[in-house]
């Protein structure tokens, strides 16, 4: 289990992470989304012991990470900016990983390498961007670590490879009880793989929830009544968003779905539709409630820019 309490990281007078508190259980895939500069890489670098925290604490199974090689050996980390030894090929990197990780699984590495047709003897500098990411990913997965940290790991991978990597991460989590933290710009990338989702904004964790909870805790209602009415008609129902056009109102509500629908039916509407929300919509409305309207738009804009590139 990873326990993070009031984690703060500063670079001179700039605070990159401020009072981040969260717990990541064993056998969990934890997704962290955030726009550029939100602090995702800093968070992972601090968690892996690359950076020393300036405040708060990080404990992995009760042990601090900073300056603790025994804990670090249980973590495999694929950073956003990949690092390989100068001029190294996969053979050399495999040797290095075997020295660092006593449980390195050579069979698994060979299976994955040949499946992906990554050459052993070619310099990694001559690999394409996607191939380099594949190489770093299979090296990390072959360490059989308890904790897997991936920074923007799906960037530069084609859709087939993204699904392959997701499947491998899920296998490790389900079969060995490993835990994974994956950061991404894209909510869509994370929603089908993560158990928990967090949103990092300007160095602070502004939203964190189980995906299932996020998806079922709010829903959209389209409703219409004869005659004039306004938002006050829905007193007693937790409405986080209200829009009305003509006689039809669109509401985003939280609470017990059956109970709410029963209440609304009793008002004798001429139209009543209950619709599920996409994860993006849940985030948008949650953020709106928190007063962060602009931010989720930024995230989605970046996402579409990403999709175009």
φ and ψ at 223, to 5 degrees?
-145, 145
Helix (H, G, I), strand (E, B) or coil at 20: strand
User: What is the rounded distance in angstroms from the CA atom of residue 139 to the CA atom of residue 89?
Assistant: 12
User: The tokens of 92 are what?
Assistant: 């050399």
The stretches of the chain forming alpha helices (DSSP H) are: 40-47, 69-72, 90-100, 106-116, 129-142, 159-176, 187-191, 211-217, 257-265, 279-290, 293-308
Contact between 31 and ligand ATP by CB under 6 A: the answer reads no
Q: How near is the Cβ of 292 to ligand ATP at its closest, in Å?
A: 16
Instruction: Give the Å distances, CA to CA, from 194 to 173, 182, 212, 257.
Output: 11, 8, 10, 24
Q: Give the interface size with ligand ATP as a residue count (CB under 6 A).
A: 12
Give min distance, CB of 39 to ligand ATP, in A: 4
Write the binding mask 44 to 83 for ligand ATP: x where contact by CB under 6 A, - elsewhere. ------------------------------------x---
Q: Which stretch binds ligand ATP (CB under 6 A): 8-16, 83-91, 122-130, 170-178?
A: 8-16
Residues 167-186 that bind ligand ATP (CB under 6 A): none
- 40 touching ligand ATP, by CB under 6 A: yes
Is residue 208 a contact residue for ligand ATP (CB under 6 A)? no
Using the contact rule CB under 6 A, the part of the chain among 40-48, 86-94, 119-127, 287-295 near ligand ATP is: 40-48
Q: Which of 25, 37, 64, 125 binds ligand ATP (CB under 6 A)?
A: 37
* 3-class secondary-structure state, position 83: coil
Per CB under 6 A, residues contacting ligand ATP are 11, 14, 16, 34, 36-42, 80
């Amino acid at each position: 289990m990873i326990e993070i309490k009031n984690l703060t990281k500063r670079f001179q007078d700039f605070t990159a992470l401020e009072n981040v508190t969260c717990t990541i259980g064993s056998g969990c895939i934890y997704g962290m989304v955030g726009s550029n500069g939100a602090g995702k890489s800093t968070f992972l670098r601090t968690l892996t012991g690359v950076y020393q925290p300036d405040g708060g604490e990080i404990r992995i199974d009760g042990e601090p990470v900073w300056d603790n090689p025994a804990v670090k050996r249980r973590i495999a980390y694929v950073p956003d900016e990949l690092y390989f030894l100068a001029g190294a090929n996969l053979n050399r990197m495999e040797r290095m990983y075997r020295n660092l990780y006593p449980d390195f699984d050579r069979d698994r590495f060979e299976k994955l390498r040949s499946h992906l047709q990554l050459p052993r003897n070619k310099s990694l500098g001559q690999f394409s961007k996607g191939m380099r990411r594949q190489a770093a990913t299979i090296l990390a997965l072959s360490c059989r670590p308890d904790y897997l940290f991936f920074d923007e790991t799906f960037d530069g991978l084609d859709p087939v490879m993204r699904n392959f990597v997701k499947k491998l991460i899920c296998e490790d989590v389900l079969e060995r009880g490993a835990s994974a933290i994956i950061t991404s710009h894209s909510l869509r990338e994370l929603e089908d793989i993560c158990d928990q989702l967090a949103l990092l904004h300007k160095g602070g964790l502004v939203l964190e929830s189980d995906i299932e909870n996020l998806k079922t805790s709010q829903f959209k209602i389209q409703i219409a009544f004869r005659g004039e009415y306004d938002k006050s008609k829905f007193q007693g129902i937790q409405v986080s968003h209200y829009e009305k056009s003509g006689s039809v109102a669109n509401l985003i509500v939280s609470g017990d779905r059956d109970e709410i629908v029963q209440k609304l039916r009793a008002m004798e509407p001429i139209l009543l539709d209950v619709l599920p929300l996409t994860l993006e919509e849940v985030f948008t409305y949650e953020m709106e409630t928190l007063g962060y309207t602009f931010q989720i738009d930024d995230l989605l804009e970046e996402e579409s820019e990403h999709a175009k590139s």
